Structure 1
């Protein structure tokens, strides 16, 4: 059985219709600035969107008829979301600049009574490069969780320290290792020695040729091959630590002259082939599976 999804665009390149294999259609409408102002979805219902003169989304109505309003500061950063109207009950707030200028300090979400009901995320500290070195999550009725991050001189993350408990404590450290040219080569727990990423092999052109996840029978090895000249991904294979070659995955990719993926052959799933079609502007117009010969699709 063949399943096809088609995509239609207007002259400005806006996606205006998506039709699935059963004929269900999702349609979108836009203003003269190509901003989406309406959507009708079989599952989500009819939505509409409104913008201010600066192009910020200021209101949206969902398929239930509920309105959500958005406010922004002078720099165009989202500061609040409210229900029903611009003065309605708060849904969420966002605060900036208290720690460092230009950065989010925290976000909060509220219930109908105004109480915080969702996780509040706080940026506790940053380094001289403004990279986050410590973050805190305040979870209502569950506690406070903290994480810490380390970086090397090149700005790459070298460690992540995870919460030890729900009382703001720090626990397990997972370390990231890099080779001499800055390519990731390992991810290891300093707590018990677990090697989440055991080894990575790169080609001279920088693409990943092979990587090993964990060790032993619970691990997996992923192999990647690339097309000569274009260096596009040609095959992706995955083998389990205790299994036979490519027992987890074996995908083969094909492309058109513009570099768009035209098919993905799944050898581990009965030879199923996913096929993709494009218009002359390289916009996706169709996607289907089930037919092993993409050339047989006539539209």
Structure 2
């Protein structure tokens, strides 16, 4: 059985971990074959309010070491995540309750760069997630994914339907093929806290 250990090497004055290590057993085949190092070290820096300012990850799997930085709103929600000139989360918007409404993912903010937007709609009053859907400029007006959620009165999820929408008209380089047909997953509950199973009824394309 392969094993590894995680060790906290150092803390700051507020007892937050600033350096940690993952160590593989010397006999691990990945180590003996030199496919992996015996020890990997990660560093974490913090903002004055306690949010993570940056993390530095070691080189591994053919990828170089990387320092990932995060910026936040005044109330502590991430607005961008980036590494040098390359990005992960380009922008974000939140509701008054702090729930994410739009997350824009892309490696660059330059005009023409490929990006993916994650969108979220909530039910007024309960703040339950009603709909989450994916949009991209590359596949517009198609939505690659469109999930809608149905709940019981206690807030348990009863049904999730994935219904990506299609563009009308013939497929072309500017009008891509629409996504697959809608699918629905339902939950049956014996009591308010335990699910007894799920089912995916057949839907019409």
What's the TM-score bracket when you normalise by the shorter of the two chains?
A: 0.7 to 0.9
Whether the aligned pair in 1 keeps the contact of 2:154 and 2:192 (CA below 8 Å) is no
Query: Which residue of 2 is the match for residue 284 of structure 1?
Result: 195
Matched, 1:238 2:130: no
Matched, 1:132 2:17: yes
Matched, 1:194 2:120: no
Residues matched between the structures, number: 173
Could you give the per-residue CA deviations for residues 219-252 of structure 1, whole angstroms, max 9, x where no partner exists?
Answer: 2101111112111111101023422145321001
For 1:8-157, what aligned pairs fall within 5 Å after superposition? 118-139=3-24, 140=26, 141=31, 142-143=36-37, 144-157=39-52
Counterparts of 2:189 and 2:91, CA distance in 1: 38
When normalised by structure 1's length, the TM-score is 0.53
Query: Which residue of 1 is the match for residue 78 of structure 2?
Result: 184
Query: Which residue of 2 is the match for residue 35 of structure 1?
Result: none
- Judging changes above 3 Å, is the alpha-carbon distance between structure 1 residues 245 and 157 closer, same or farther for their aligned structure 2 residues? farther
- Judging changes above 3 Å, is the alpha-carbon distance between structure 1 residues 281 and 223 closer, same or farther for their aligned structure 2 residues? closer
Query: Which residue of 1 is the match for residue 173 of structure 2?
Result: none
Whether the aligned pair in 2 keeps the contact of 1:217 and 1:241 (CA below 8 Å) is no
Query: Which residue of 1 is the match for residue 67 of structure 2?
Result: 173
When normalised by structure 2's length, the TM-score is 0.75
Could you give the per-residue CA deviations for residues 92-131 of structure 1, whole angstroms, max 9, x where no partner exists?
Answer: xxxxxxxxxxxxxxxxxxx6xxxxx533322111112222
Matched, 1:267 2:152: no
Across the aligned residues of Structure 1 and Structure 2, the Cα RMSD in angstroms comes to 2.4
For 1:196-211, what aligned pairs fall within 5 Å after superposition? 196-211=88-103
Structure number with larger C-alpha Rg = 1
- Judging changes above 3 Å, is the alpha-carbon distance between structure 1 residues 277 and 165 closer, same or farther for their aligned structure 2 residues? closer
Which structure dedicates a bigger proportion of its chain to strand?
1
Whether the aligned pair in 1 keeps the contact of 2:156 and 2:192 (CA below 8 Å) is no
Counterparts of 2:86 and 2:137, CA distance in 1: 15
Whether the aligned pair in 2 keeps the contact of 1:217 and 1:240 (CA below 8 Å) is no
Counterparts of 1:151 and 1:277, CA distance in 2: 44
Cα distance, 1:165 vs. partner?
6.7
